[in-house]
């Protein structure tokens, strides 16, 4: 059987100008690669009807599968559906059930339904619709002369859910491949180091496809492999994760849906324990990550955002002399923040963070990206100094996830 090939096309003037980064083509390519479909070309085009038609002509001549993202909104510059109708010589079809669902959605949110939104219930009559649970623009699957065209909204969150939940399962059947995937999560290990560390283990299994997915100081190892029986698959993934985890257990922490906020919740519930946070440079991000998880009220006690020295003193009892002698960004201050958080909240565990998020405010002794992160319970306290980069947002995110990982290690030590 010949290899199935694909071409991905993104539509949008904002992509050509560089105002918006095209992450859609990269995501789609990774997902197709996991099921053995090779992407042979990626294209970015503007919101011009003839360019869309020419791109489809060329793509259909070169590949078996074509993906098209963008231009499905209700405004005048969203022309993808009308161009597809011209290209395939078909009409738009109105889906009354979609229209009623749209009207109900607007009403529930207190918005007035404008007539322009009716277009979100109209699609080319030769398209099979693919559910988009996160937006109003449904995905589409159009078969053309033995080729497959998949059309999705350009919003990354919407494109991703349609790709993973609708398109990949459908293409797996077309490719006659049943693929299983395990995601192995790590933090605090550079991608290149993780690759060198895990390669000897992963090379033991010749049928695996491996992708390293880095994001904000974390790397997920995505492993895809031919599906087998549920029992054999469970045995294999447990064995594989165990081998990888044991290489660096302080940094390789979970698999699949067990991202750090989820894992923290599981660990705290298992111990029937609670946590509270005290944050300076992260501005409440750690508390937000913890409470993003449904049911977190069982284990999250409270969060203090003590950005100013005055609030560190008044809310957490940090001694003024500590701040004078050592500064807000110091191990001594974070230690006081931990003690105050445990005392004020009554929680079993505490997290405290203070740092220089940047891009200004650094010094020779404490340059931008210097962050002290501490975790504690009534018996143990662990404070570490981290040196991140100069990007304020990344520094906040990396600090927050590093704090969750330190808490994980402390909880596991107590178990």
pLDDT given for residue 1 in this prediction: 45
Per-residue pLDDT reduced to its tens digit, 313-335: 999 999 999 999 999 999 999 99
Q: By the 8 A CB rule, do 372 and 354 touch?
A: yes
Averaged pLDDT for residues 175-181 = 76
CATH 3.30.310.220 intervals, the chain: 179-255
Q: Tell me the DSSP string of 92-145.
A: EEE-HHHHHHHHHHHHHTT----GGGGGGGEEETTPEEE--TTSSS-EEEEEET
Per-residue pLDDT reduced to its tens digit, 28-41: 998 998 888 999 99
Question: Between these two residues, 224 and 235, which has the higher pLDDT value?
Answer: 235
CATH 3.40.980.10 intervals, the chain: 5-174
Per-residue pLDDT reduced to its tens digit, 241-257: 999 999 999 999 999 99
| Residue 3 CB coordination number (10 Å) | 10
* Mean pLDDT, rounded, of the chain: 94
Q: Does domain 5-174 sit in CATH 3.40.980.10?
A: yes
Residue 8 has pLDDT above 50, yes or no: yes
Per-residue pLDDT reduced to its tens digit, 372-389: 999 999 999 999 999 999
- In eight-state DSSP terms, residue 169 is H
As a whole number of angstroms, the distance between CA 58 and CA 311 comes to: 63
Look at the alpha carbons of 318, 390, 215, 213 in this order and tell me if their dihedral is positive or negative: negative
Averaged pLDDT for residues 389-397 = 94
Residue 98 pLDDT level (bands cut at 50, 70, 90): very high
pLDDT given for residue 173 in this prediction: 83
CATH 3.90.950.20 intervals, the chain: 261-414
> Which CATH code of 1.10.340.30, 3.90.950.20, 3.30.930.10, 3.30.70.1430 fits the domain covering 261-414?
3.90.950.20
Topology of the domain covering 179-255: TATA-Binding Protein (3.30.310)
| Residue 57 CB coordination number (10 Å) | 11
């Amino acid at each position: 059987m010949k290899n199935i090939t694909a071409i991905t096309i993104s539509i949008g003037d904002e992509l050509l100008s560089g105002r918006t980064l095209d992450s859609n083509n990269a995501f789609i390519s990774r997902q197709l690669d996991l099921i053995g479909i090779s992407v042979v070309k990626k294209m970015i085009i503007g919101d011009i009807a003839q360019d869309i038609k020419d791109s489809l002509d060329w793509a259909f001549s070169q590949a078996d599968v074509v993906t098209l993202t963008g231009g499905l909104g209700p405004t005048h510059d969203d022309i993808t559906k009308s161009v597809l109708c011209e290209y395939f010589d078909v009409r738009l079809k109105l889906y009354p059930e979609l229209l009623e669902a749209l009207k109900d959605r607007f009403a529930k949110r207190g918005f007035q339904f404008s007539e322009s939104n009716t277009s979100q219930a109209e699609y080319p009559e030769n398209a099979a619709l693919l559910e988009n649970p996160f937006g109003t623009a449904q995905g589409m699957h159009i078969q053309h002369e033995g080729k497959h065209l998949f059309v999705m909204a350009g919003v990354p969150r919407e494109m991703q859910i349609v790709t993973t939940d609708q398109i990949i399962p459908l293409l797996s059947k077309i490719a006659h491949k049943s693929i299983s995937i395990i995601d192995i999560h790590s933090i605090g290990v550079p991608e290149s180091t993780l690759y060198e560390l895990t390669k000897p283990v992963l090379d033991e299994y010749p049928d695996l496809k491996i992708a390293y997915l880095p994001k904000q100081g974390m790397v997920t190892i995505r492993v895809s492999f031919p599906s087998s029986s549920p029992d054999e698959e469970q045995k294999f993934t447990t064995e594989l994760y165990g081998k990888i985890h044991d290489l660096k257990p302080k940094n390789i922490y979970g698999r699949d849906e067990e991202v750090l906020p989820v894992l923290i919740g599981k660990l705290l519930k298992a111990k029937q324990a609670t946590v509270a946070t005290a944050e300076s440079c992260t501005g409440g991000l750690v508390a937000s990550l913890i409470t993003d998880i449904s049911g977190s009220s069982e284990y999250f006690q409270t969060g203090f955002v003590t950005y100013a020295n005055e609030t560190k003193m008044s809310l957490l009892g940090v001694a003024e002399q500590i701040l004078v002698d050592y500064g807000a960004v110091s191990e001594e201050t974070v230690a006081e923040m931990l003690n105050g958080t445990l005392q004020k909240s009554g929680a079993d565990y505490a997290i405290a963070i203070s740092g220089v998020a940047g891009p200004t405010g650094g010094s020779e002794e404490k340059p931008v990206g210097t962050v002290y992160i501490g975790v504690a319970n009534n018996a143990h306290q662990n404070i570490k100094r981290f040196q991140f980069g100069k990007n304020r947002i990344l520094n906040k995110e990396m600090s927050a996830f590093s704090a969750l990982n330190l808490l994980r290690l402390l909880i596991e030590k107590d178990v």
